[in-house]
Amino acid sequence: MEDDDVEENIEEQNEELNEEKKEDIAADFEYKDIKDLPGVGSTIASKIKSAGYQDIISLATANPMVLVEACGIGEPTAKKIVAEARDASGMNFMSGLEFEDKRKSVQRISTGSEAFNILLGGGVETQAITECYGEYGSGKSQMAFQLAVDVQLPVEKGGLDGHAIWIDTEGTFRPSRIEQLAASKGLDPKQALQNIKIGRAYSSDHQVLLVNKVPELVNADPKIKLIVVDSMMALFRAEYVGRGTLADRQQKVNVVLHTLQRLADRFNIAVYITNQVMARPDVMFGDPTAAVGGHIIGHVATYRIYLRKGKKGSRVAKLVDSPSLPEGEASFEITSNGIADLDEEKKK
Ligand code: ATP
Ligand code: MG
């Protein structure tokens, strides 16, 4: 296919998706409240909500045993409630063919480095959560800046002609960096900033609220193609220190991740989240670092990338977990113009 055809094709798909979006949003995200489910009244609903399940989608993915404990209801009742939530949220099976069709609409955002793109099978995918974890200064946020700009590029330049949402939990979003990257890609810097909606989260509860607001934003702006959460765990880690509250924390993180995954799936959006690593004093061999929130995110994120500093100021990305791509590594660098392939000199 010629480039023009590809573009036209994708535009058509986008138009179709956008049409679908308007209907979907009503069907999926604006249905009734938890309290309207059969067998749930306002009392049980408020207990379910305080257990961290704010809406029917998140309830649909809940473990019934958690509800038994949190709401003081019997196991059969809990199972019935979760099943009702599943029905109401339209979490149905689809045929392999339908699934293949849906996969065909997957699009990719360029990372700015060809080597990195190849590692990811072409770039950061829509309909998936991509998690980048690594130590401070490894480039997790820089990658987010790059994606938030690159998503705005036309398709033939590695973008999706789209807009971005950015949830900032650490106060590290820098408009000037966006402007700098946009200018170097030939975009209007102010327009590029205009195309990114930023929400600053001050607490983990606030972060949950912001994520729950995203469906509304997507509805208002169907061009949204990227959601960034930088960083996913910082607030949760700071607030939930004692082990006693760990289960509570994981549940909330789970709710956030599942909401993001649903959005990614339904609206063909790429989700990029960052995560710090924590020292693992118990690991004597191998890499003594592990992503915060470890296994909870690991099970949800489709692609996991471990970033580290390499030789001569370069960065190394390692693909740790992916459904169909081989594990591997790619080197790149962070320049004033953004993420780029290493020059020949540095490859040595
Ligand atoms: P943290 O865990 O602290 O949030 P991070 O992984 O998000 O860390 P980044 O902020 O993405 O780290 O990376 C910071 C690094 O990016 C800097 O140390 C520097 O090497 C590089 N960097 C940032 N801005 C520029 C620039 N304008 N030109 C060149 N390199 C830059
Ligand atoms: Mg950062």
The pLDDT value recorded for residue 276 is 85
User: Cα–Cα distances in Å, from 257 out to 111, 164, 334?
Assistant: 22, 17, 28
Assess whether the C-beta atom of 337 lies below 6 angstroms from ligand 1. Answer: no
Q: How far apart are CA 59 and CA 275, in angstroms?
A: 25
Cα radius of gyration rounded to whole Å, the chain: 21
Distance 334 CA to ligand 1 centre (A): 8
Ligand 1 close to Cβ of residue 134 (< 6 A) = yes
Domains of the chain: 3-89 (1.10.150.20), 101-347 (3.40.50.300)
pLDDT of residue 292: 62
Nearest ligand to residue 177 Cα = 1
Question: Measured between alpha carbons, how far is 144 from 165 in angstroms, rounded to an integer?
Answer: 11
Query: CA 321 from chain center: how many Å?
Result: 15
The closest residue, in CA terms, to atom 17 on ligand 1 is 137
The CA 108 to ligand 2 mean position distance, Å, reads: 22
Whole-number Cα distances in Å, 72 to 66, 76, 85: 10, 12, 18
Type of residue at 282: D
User: Which ligand 1 atom is nearest residue 138's CA?
Assistant: 6
Does the Cβ of 140 fall within 6 Å of ligand 1? yes
pTM beyond 0.85: the answer is: no
Q: Is the CB of 169 under 6 A from ligand 1?
A: no
Nearest CA to ligand 1 atom 4: 136
Nearest CA to ligand 1 atom 15: 137
Mutate to test the pocket of ligand 1, among 170, 307, 334 (most ligand atoms within 8 A of CB): 334
Q: Is the CB of 136 under 6 A from ligand 1?
A: yes
Phi, psi of 99, rounded to the nearest 5 degrees: -65, -45
Give the Å distance between the CA of 142 and the centre of ligand 2: 7
Q: What separation in Å is there between the alpha carbon of 91 and the centre of ligand 2?
A: 34
Dihedral Cα 113, 119, 122, 125, nearest 10 deg = -100
- SS3 state of residue 341: strand
Best probe residue, ligand 1, of 142, 170, 309 (max atoms within 8 Å of C-beta): 142
pLDDT tens track of the chain, all 348 residues?
Answer: 455 665 565 566 556 555 554 444 434 444 468 888 887 888 899 999 888 888 887 888 788 888 888 888 889 999 999 888 877 776 666 778 878 888 889 999 999 999 999 999 999 999 999 999 999 999 999 999 999 999 999 999 999 999 999 999 999 999 999 999 999 999 999 999 999 999 999 999 999 999 989 988 988 899 999 999 999 998 988 887 665 577 778 788 888 888 898 889 888 999 999 998 865 555 555 555 666 665 566 666 789 999 999 998 999 999 987 878 888 999 999 999 999 999 877 666
